[in-house]
Amino acid sequence: MNALINDLVNNKETEKIQKPNFDTRVGREFLAFYLKTKFKQIINYDKKAAKSLFLQVSPDFLEKFLDRLINNPKRKILISITGESASGKSTICAQIQKCINDKNLPISIVNTDNYFNDISELINQYGTFDALRDAGYDVDSPHNFQLDLLRDDIEKLANGSDVKIPKYLVNGTGISIPNAIEIKSKKIIIVEGMAATYKEVHDMFDIKIYIDLNNKIRKKRFLERAQVRNQDHENALKHWDYVCDAGRKYVVPAKEKCDIIANGECNLEYFTQILEYINLITNNFCEV
């Protein structure tokens, strides 16, 4: 646990900074300088953690992101969180959702798994989802996602419009229900899932985060999750082989294009402290 960040969060940095006028370029440049200083502080703190959150940060990421804030301030901040199956991305997003609920953070989360095509007819034809997979159907292929719709929805959210996204049922039926989940356009939009790596949408994001974890731990998590879902062990191993192959083809190649490589084994309490501190510093302004 990082005592320095813990102290900063607990102290609440009571000395507020006079809020600049963010409608002016000078005000936004001040904000960019302030955030750059604070982010570097977080990175330095993180290096001392028992299990660092930030495994790698692209050298030009911060400059590019802050330049976007200065030159296009009205557009919502788009963040992608991706990684291979059982890497920890859903767990991290669940923790973010908990922080959203606890702290009323201006963040919306979109799960790209909801953009799977409806394959219910194919499943009925083959009998089961597993039989369809065993017949060679590539469920995680970009062709099996509604990527045009995903891009359109992200663009609407980025420009301030609420959307209703599909809901894909994870009960083995392959059913996709259109316009089922309402997503509000908030200050920050997080898009989670492997589809966020695909070229059709990958260029949209201001911050691209890749959750990394070694295969041994991933496999253990995957099989434990299968057991909770009452999935047959032999079938779970088959599906593990499939998701590993799909990950190598579709997810891993995007790793080098991501801005931040994050640790899927990071302590969640520590991760929450960093989120709280980021929320604190981005709201550490008082009106004139």
Determine the pLDDT at residue 195: 95
Q: Are residues 184 and 277 in the same domain?
A: no
Region 259-270 average pLDDT: 93
The rounded distance, in Å, linking the Cα atoms of 136 and 39 is 45
Q: Are residues 256 and 287 in the same domain?
A: no
Q: Note whether residue 235 is domain-resident.
A: yes
pTM over the 0.85 mark: yes
C-beta of residue 159 within 8 angstroms of C-beta of residue 75: yes
Q: Note whether residue 66 is domain-resident.
A: no
Helix axes 89-103, 268-282, angle to 10 degrees: 50
Q: Which residue has the tokens 């060679």?
A: 136
Q: For the ranges 12-26, 43-57, 77-91, 120-134, which has the lowest average pLDDT?
A: 12-26
Determine the pLDDT at residue 5: 55
Domain carrying residue 127 = 75-265
Region 77-98 average pLDDT: 94
Task: Evaluate the CA torsion angle 196, 199, 204, 209 in order and state its sign.
Answer: positive
C-beta of residue 45 within 8 angstroms of C-beta of residue 277: no
Residues 6+ apart with CB under 8 A from 281: 13, 34, 35, 38
Torsional class of 147: left (φ above 0), alpha (ψ -120 to 50), beta (otherwise): alpha
C-beta of residue 186 within 8 angstroms of C-beta of residue 106: yes
Of 236, 208, 257, nearest in space to 86 by CA: 236
Region 99-119 average pLDDT: 95
Q: Are residues 192 and 152 in the same domain?
A: yes
Determine the pLDDT at residue 230: 74
Q: Are residues 123 and 190 in the same domain?
A: yes
Q: Are residues 22 and 90 in the same domain?
A: no
Q: Are residues 30 and 124 in the same domain?
A: no
Q: Are residues 39 and 106 in the same domain?
A: no
pLDDT tier at 288, thresholds 50, 70, 90? very low
Q: Which residue has the tokens 């991933």?
A: 218
The amino acid present at 252, given as its one-letter code, is V
Average pLDDT, whole number, for the chain?
A: 90
Q: Are residues 83 and 10 in the same domain?
A: no
Determine the pLDDT at residue 1: 44
Determine the pLDDT at residue 281: 82
In Å, what is the CA distance from 237 to each residue of 3, 139, 223, 243?
40, 16, 8, 10
Task: Provide the number of structural domains found in the chain.
Answer: 2
pLDDT tier at 19, thresholds 50, 70, 90? confident
Q: What are 170's two structure tokens?
A: 């994870």
Region 136-150 average pLDDT: 95
Q: Note whether residue 191 is domain-resident.
A: yes
Helix (H) or strand (E) holding 111, with range, is strand 107-111
Q: Are residues 239 and 156 in the same domain?
A: yes
Residues 6+ apart with CB under 8 A from 203: none
Q: Are residues 26 and 134 in the same domain?
A: no
